Amino acid sequence: MRRVLTAAGFALMLLRADAGFAIDSYRYLHVNIQTPWMIFLFLLVAVFVPFILMVVLMWWRAMRKPIPAPKSEIPNDD
């Protein structure tokens, strides 16, 4: 029953869609000179934030980890 309702809903959506919207879809994007800069800044943040987070977490973890005492190569015979 669920498949029938899904197929009917999909068919209704296809019947409702107008071909004119697909042809003139760029009218709604409002592309201007700031658009490439916004894309660049978004990608810059998306690329560098994980690296910055990785460095901060490595630094934070290194500060929390206790430094083990070095083992002596000469055995103690006490």
Q: Determine the average pLDDT of the residues in 35-59.
A: 93
Percent of the chain with pLDDT over 70: 77
Query: Per the structure block, which two tokens stand in for 55?
Result: 């460095």
Q: What is the pLDDT of residues 7-41, one digit of tens each?
A: 888 887 777 766 555 555 566 667 788 888 999 99
Tell me the domain boundaries of the chain.
2-64
Enter the pTM of the model: 0.43
CA–CA gap between residue 67 and residue 50 (Å, rounded): 27
Pick left, alpha or beta for residue 76 (phi over 0 → left; psi -120 to 50 → alpha; otherwise beta): beta
Secondary-structure breakdown of the chain: helix, strand, coil percentages, each rounded to the nearest 5: 70, 0, 30
Q: What angle do CA 25, 26, 30 make, to 5 degrees?
A: 125
At position 6, the amino acid (one-letter code) is T
Q: Is the pLDDT of residue 78 over 60?
A: no
